[in-house]
Amino acid sequence: HHARHLEEGSLRSIVWKGYKSHFQSFGNLSKPTSVSHCPQMTQTPVKQHHAPKIRYTKQLSGGMKISVWKDDLTTHKVDAVVNTANEQLQHGGLALALSRAGGPEIQQMSDHYIQTNRRVHTGDAIVTTAGKLPCKMIIHAVGPPVPKNPSAKDVSAAKPFLESVIWKILTLAQYNNLQSVAIPAISSGLYNFPRHICADIIVNTVKSFSDKQHPQSTSLEVRLVNNDDPSVREMLRACQQLLGPSGTMQKQTIVSTKSA
């Protein structure tokens, strides 16, 4: 079944120009099933998991919403999770954790994409199904690497690529009519991008994307989800500094507001 969809070009590269026509070739990925229909991780041992904690939420223009969470992306219940991928889609770190939790299908589809397209360019993103993860799809996003202890010039050169990949993630989420997407601190781990600058770029890009939407044209919630306290703190700081204090939190979306 999966092979047939792959042969039909379900993982064809999406490019900025004319991405809509390319995306139609994704077949059933362009019309994902509801989260409730996704296979659950019943065949793997259940590890101890702390309840997700929401730290910030804010309504943006155009109907979008941004929120900051501390949670494990492999179990976070959302329409799409973003995987911090490399150009060859060989999954390690967070990507490996997502791949293992989702089952072998994720790496198999990634390998097929690379065999066909050679690589995913830095600053770009593609979509695959989510396997056993509790979501509709995975957005594999390739952020820019910088050297350890990068100079201001290194960071400045990489910044447009980080902005590009965030914009692409939001474009894919909106095109697929997703209600929510979970984005980690892309490039800030193994790729050495300074965490505080990463947070500022992500928040500013989400705001810029939202500002360009027609009022109430989308109900997309962008969740900045990380499981380590330093990243959560920086995302919270960036939102508070760039967007203002947290807005009114809807009771049904709050799991816990206690500090970890």
User: What CA–CA distance (Å, rounded) separates 82 from 59?
Assistant: 21
SS3 161: helix
Percent of the chain with pLDDT over 90: 52
72 inside domain? yes
Q: CA 152: distance to chain centroid?
A: 26
Confidence at 223, pLDDT banded by 50, 70, 90: very high
Contact present, 39 and 131 (Cβ < 8 Å) = yes
Cα 244 versus chain centre, distance: 23
Distance between CA 174 and CA 176 in Å, rounded? 5
Q: Is 79 domain-assigned?
A: yes
Output DSSP code: residue 24: G
Number of separate domains in the chain: 1
Within the chain, residue ranges assigned H as helices are 2-7, 19-23, 94-102, 104-117, 152-175, 195-211, 229-243
Strand partners, 226: 70
SS3 category, 160: helix
Q: How confident is the model at residue 17 (pLDDT cuts 50, 70, 90)?
A: very low
Please indicate, yes or no, if residue 52 is contained in any of the structural domains. no
Q: Which domain holds residue 232?
A: 57-243
Residue 187 pLDDT greater than 90, yes or no: yes
Task: Examine residue 260 and state whether it is found in any structural domain, yes or no.
Answer: no
Residue 202 lies in a domain: yes
Q: Has residue 193 been placed in a domain?
A: yes
Residues 63-120 have pLDDT tens digits of: 899 999 999 998 999 999 999 888 988 856 667 778 788 878 888 888 888 899 999 9
Residue 8 lies in a domain: no
In a domain, 14, yes or no: no
The CATH number of the domain holding residue 125 is 3.40.220.10
